[in-house]
Amino acid sequence: MPKSGKTPGKQDSSHEAAPPVRIGLLTGEPIRVEGLRSIFDQPATAGQPPLTPITGTLTELLSNPSIEFLVVDMNGAAGGVETLQYVRRERPDIRQIVIGPENDEELVLDCIIAGARAYLDSSVVPGTVRYAIEVVVSGSIWAPRRLLSRLIDRLIGIPRAMVQSSSLHLSARELQVLELILLARTNREIAAQLGVEERTIKAHVGKLLKKTGAENRIDLSVRAINRSLVPTSRLDPR
């Protein structure tokens, strides 16, 4: 008989499905609420935790400590970028996904700078919204790469007086990961390119955030560029 006392062939309970991730939905139009809720009717992608939508007013959503992510529908919620900034002040732990107007690149950049982890225009199909949410839940960002390239260009223009003078030691692998983050690669894409598991990349990203004191990947990009941790000549997204 097995000494462990476990039934042969059965998995340990520690390997059971992960608990659902709660996603707040902020929009002012009931019909849009139903449309957003339908996105979560699809089963979770393999390896991803199930997602549970929660609706309510901004005050209700921010007062719910179980909510870790917030979908902000700018087409149905008032406030625009100011709403994102308010959420960031009140609940800096919440990661935001924005659904907004098309063809407004400046708005996309403003949203990312204000703390959004993803920006999707209103014409995208539900499957794309679901995938973008999963990307953010996994710790990455989602936005058109041409705009992230423009964001990097904007950050490069920050006055050099803001550069911190303290030295920072990064390993060769951390520098590789950082360079790919600056090229707007997701954790999954970085893992595939470097031939390692995604959880390994998550660990490297965590170390980079800790070493630089950054709050998120956008903040990390700002600090990396200001400190010239990666030569800007290598930041070619092609």
Helix-helix angle 145-156:217-226, to 10 degrees? 40
- The first and second tokens of residue 65, run together, are 């400590």
Per-residue pLDDT at 203 exceeds 80: yes
User: What value does the mean pLDDT take over residues 119-131?
Assistant: 83
Q: 3-state secondary structure string, 145-165?
A: HHHHHHHHHHHHCCCHHHCCC
Task: Tell the residue number behind the tokens 């992230």, with chain if given.
Answer: 148
Q: What is the pLDDT of residues 127-172, one digit of tens each?
A: 888 888 888 888 877 876 666 666 666 665 544 434 443 457 888 8
pLDDT band at 231 (very low <50, low <70, confident <90, very high): low
d(CA 180, CA 171): 14
Top-ranked range on mean pLDDT: pick from 61-65, 135-139, 216-220: 61-65
Query: What pLDDT score does 24 carry?
Result: 92
d(CA 140, CA 134): 9
Q: What is the pLDDT of residues 83-108, one digit of tens each?
A: 888 998 899 889 999 998 887 777 88
Top-ranked range on mean pLDDT: pick from 17-21, 57-61, 218-222, 227-231: 57-61
Could you give phi then psi for residue 114, rounded to 5 degrees? -75, -5
d(CA 222, CA 61): 29
Q: What is the CATH number of domain 152-158+166-234?
A: 1.10.10.10
More confident residue, 231 or 34: 34
Q: Residues 6 or more apart from 205 whose CB is under 8 A from it?
A: 139, 177, 181, 187, 217
Query: What pLDDT score does 74 carry?
Result: 84
User: What value does the mean pLDDT take over residues 176-180?
Assistant: 89
Q: Which CATH superfamily is domain 18-143 in?
A: Response regulator (3.40.50.2300)
pLDDT band at 33 (very low <50, low <70, confident <90, very high): confident
More confident residue, 146 or 112: 112
Q: 3-state secondary structure string, 97-121?
A: EEEECCCCHHHHHHHHHCCEEEEEE
State the average pLDDT for the chain: 77
Nearest 5°: the CA angle 34, 126, 100 is 80
Please give the C-alpha separations between residue 225 and each of 102, 113, 140, 234, in angstroms, as whole numbers. Answer: 29, 15, 19, 12
Domain ranges of the chain: 18-143, 152-158+166-234
Query: What pLDDT score does 69 carry?
Result: 93
- Contact in structure between 53 and 82 (CB atoms under 8 Å): no
Per-residue pLDDT at 113 exceeds 70: yes
Q: Residues 6 or more apart from 187 whose CB is under 8 A from it?
A: 138, 139, 140, 198, 201, 202, 205
Q: Are strands 69-73 and 95-100 parallel, antiparallel or unpaired?
A: parallel
The domains spanning 18-143 and 152-158+166-234 adopt the same CATH topology:
no
